[in-house]
Structure 1
Amino acid sequence: MAAKNQAQMFSELTLSRRSTRDFLDTPVAPELIDEILQEALSAPSWSNTRPYRVAVATGEVKERISHTLLDRFDDIMRTRSPKLGTRIKGGLSALSLLRSDFRIPIKYPDDLRVRQVALGKALFSHLGVERGDIDARNEQIRNNMRFFGAPVGLFFFARKGMGVYSPLDVGHFMQTLMLSAKARGLDTCAQGFLAFWSGPIRDEFEVPEGYKLLCGMSLGYAAHSHTNEFVPPVTKVQDIALPLSQK
């Protein structure tokens, strides 16, 4: 019975975690953040190396980062292109003008683009954003750099020199962190957009040499809103499980 209850509790916790895009401004206690980070360190890691660092931004630091990211995004939208991905002079796109530590996948492989497009359509439809309303779409993108109103912004750095295994370990760490936060009544949203420029984060934190900004995350208490009622398309097991070879 105990094992069944544990399985049920874990399933409920895991399935309740979603990308939250509307937070209350209620502060998160520093000791609670530390508790979540410590628990996240139980995640598996390549040879237990923990090849990552995390920056925790709150208060004025978070606001400065937010304003700088918004300014840089607005500069691109105002002077270069009305829409991310649109071709501009010299054959460049707005995305190519970003200053990320890792290369941003502008074009998805065909099999993955199907899911990307399905998510975008479903999310914007839920938010009431029409396909041709570029201003409204860009405003939703700008919300990423506002941390969706969350009081805490997290930035994850991966160590160079470990190939794909540093980012793999970051993923383990982030997922464990998100579940730990959820278990404590907090919600999260992992955001690639928060890593499109690493400079503003490096200006605020002492990042060791050899670490590259991989991803950001918003952390806080979810608002009870229509935005947070969004449920993304579900991927089925048969869509990812490999069949036996017929050779």
Structure 2
Amino acid sequence: MTFEETNKNRRSIRDFKNTQVSNDIINQILKEALEAPSSSNTQPFKVVVATGDTLTNIGNELTKKYKASLSLRKKNIFEKLIIARKFKLKPNKIYQTIQGKYFGIYQDRRIKTAIGLYKILGIKKEDHKKRNEEMIKNFNFFGAPAAIWIFANPKMKYTALVDTGIFMQNIMLSATSKGLGTCPQGALNIWREPVDNYFDVPKGYELVCGLSLGYPSDAVVNSYRPEKIGLEELLVSERK
């Protein structure tokens, strides 16, 4: 594919085939992603790749945490504290730092995107049960056979997040060029403990984001592509 084709074909995939992705392909994707620029070539990131039983176990642990978090809504403050402690529901440190509240036009775009997604899934706004079921799919990686978590060294501060974002985009574009799909998921950044239970992440590195990786299915949800802003809204006018 040309770059234009690859770029336009990349979208968030929310339903994957159970076809396995070979380690050779995953390694090739990561090698290509490492061509991404970073501040003074610092490359301040580490990567976890989970497949097979390890991925299943991590998914099960994340799902338990999410279901426990849902139960908090109907509990009093003391019950919330007990459940939060039992299931270790305190969010990942970086998640608490970078997950700001949506406001103004950003909240408008967020709502518009959600409405479009739920519409194609046939889920009504008031159907909280179905919406929760869709949310839970994040923690099963939408059926993907592989998932990637990216950690960065927070001592590099702002540049670490910029560098990680560029690197992550390279992963997604490389995967797309090979006929695979990805879904970058903020949900995979909420709790890092299940990942730490299976991988020896170097001390000091914080979880920034995760993504699912695999071959896209023909499910209608994968046809959804939210509207992007135009150049007239993107570009800043020159002073006169």
TM-score normalised per structure 1: 0.88
Q: Is 1:230 the equivalent of 2:224?
A: yes
Alignment partners' CA distance in 1, 2:28 and 2:2: 20
| Residue 13 (1) aligns with residue 6 (2) | yes
Summarize the alignment of residues 91-170 of structure 1 with structure 2, pairs less than 5 Å apart: 98-102=90-94, 103=96, 105=99, 107-170=101-164
- Aligned-pair identity (%): 36
Q: CA deviation at 1:240?
A: 2.0
Alignment-mate amino acid for residue 171 of structure 2: L
Greater RCO (CA < 8 Å, at least 6 residues apart)? 2
**Match in the other structure for 2:49:** 56
Q: Distance in 2 between matches of 1:49 and 1:107?
A: 30
Q: 1:15 to 1:223 in 2, by over 3 A?
A: same
Q: Which residue number in structure 2 is paired with residue 212 of structure 1? A: 206
Structure with greater helix share of residues: 2
2:233 is matched with 239
Residue identity opposite 1:244 in structure 2? E
Following superposition, the deviation at residue 126 of structure 1 comes to 1.1
| Secondary structure, counterpart of 1:204 in structure 2 | coil
Report the alpha carbon displacement of residue 17 of structure 1 after superposing the two structures with TM.
0.4
How many residues are treated as equivalent by the alignment? 231
Instruction: State the 1:98 CA deviation.
Output: 4.2
Q: 3-state DSSP class of the match of 1:53?
A: strand
Shift of 1:101: 2.4
1:110-130 Cα offsets, whole Å, 9 max, x none, are 121111111111111111111
Cα pair 1:101 1:198 within 8 Å, conserved:
no
Contiguous gaps of at least 5 residues in structure 1: 1-7
CA displacement at 1:89 relative to structure 2: 4.6
Deviation at 1:107, TM superposition (A): 2.1
Q: Please, which of 191, 198, 215 is the counterpart of residue 185 of structure 2?
A: 191
Q: Residue 40 of structure 1 corresponds to which residue in structure 2?
A: 33
Measured in 2, the distance between the counterparts of 1:22 and 1:206 equals: 29
Q: 1:88 to 1:120 in 2, by over 3 A?
A: farther
> What is the identity, as a one-letter code, of the residue corresponding to 1:137?
R
Q: Counterparts of 1:204 and 1:15 in 2: how far apart (Å)?
A: 35
Secondary structure of the structure 2 residue equivalent to 1:161: helix
For the residues of structure 2 that align with 1:106 and 1:75, how far apart are their CA atoms? 23
* Whole-Å separation in 1 of the counterparts to 2:194 and 2:48: 12
User: What is the alpha-carbon distance in structure 2 between the residues aligned to residue 88 and residue 13 of structure 1?
Assistant: 50
Q: Contact 1:40 / 1:173 at 8 angstroms: preserved in 2? A: yes
Measure the CA separation in 2 of the matches of 1:222 and 1:179: 14
- 1:81 corresponds, among 45, 70, 73, to 73
